[in-house]
Amino acid sequence: MIIPCIDLMGGKVVQLVQGREKALEGGTPEEMLARFAAFPWIQVIDLDAAIGGGSNDEMVEFFAARAATRVGGGVRTVERAKKLLCQGARKVIVGTAAFHAGGIHDAFLRELAQAIGGDRVVIAVDSREGRIVVKGWRESTALAAEEVLSQLEPYCSGFLCTYVDKEGMLAGTDLEWFRRLRRATALELTAAGGITTLEEIAELARLGIHAALGMAIYTGRLDLAELAARNAGR
């Protein structure tokens, strides 16, 4: 499955390079919904909330109420997750709160899964230079994604795995990393970060991994109509 990404910062739809430098802005929320209407799922990330620098709650609610969404960014309490679901999100994406200095934050993840159901939780295990990064990808942990997926499985329905080293660079992704992740878990995997070509999408699909796309579709590198047709199996 191909999942378009909508990243929010400062009240706008944006695309960043490696989560830091803004490269471009997208259209209005209404325009983005229309643009991605042919896709069964949309991924919405509140980047301001992710880095603890504010939020884009009204825009998040707009998308969650009108499309099948997976929503993340700043989901660090059970109350925040419940609020997103009440606004219409189908699943919540948890990243920073899933980890702490000592490793996996089991107590929080257990509480979250019990409160909303693990089937509605996606855990973000984003990696830069081989280590999981948190707080909007600004802090590194000592954990490697492929080493912890099995420990996280009891708390979620799947994983969002971003190869941050190539995020937003239109230079291709690291398929071998995703192959290692696929061997590490049987749960649903969604790949992100640098996916640029139809060949990469096809290889991910062969591995049974979804592709979350941002920069490649915002710049027109990949054609939305062709991607929608692939999603529909045509």
Query: How many beta carbons lie within 10 A of that of residue 152, not counting itself?
Result: 22
Which pair of structure tokens corresponds to residue 72?
A: 């993340």
**7 is known as an active-site residue:** yes
Q: Closest Cα to residue 44, out of 30, 59, 55? A: 59
Give residue 213's identity as a one-letter amino acid code: L
Catalytic residue among 7, 48, 57, 165: 7
Which pair of structure tokens corresponds to residue 197?
A: 């070509």
Beta carbons of 124 and 72 less than 8 angstroms apart: yes
**126 is known as an active-site residue:** yes
Separation of alpha carbons 207 and 195, rounded Å: 15
Residue 95 per-residue DSSP state: -
Catalytic residue among 46, 57, 119, 126: 126
Three-state DSSP at 9 gives strand
Three-state DSSP at 22 gives strand
As annotated, the active-site residues are 7, 126
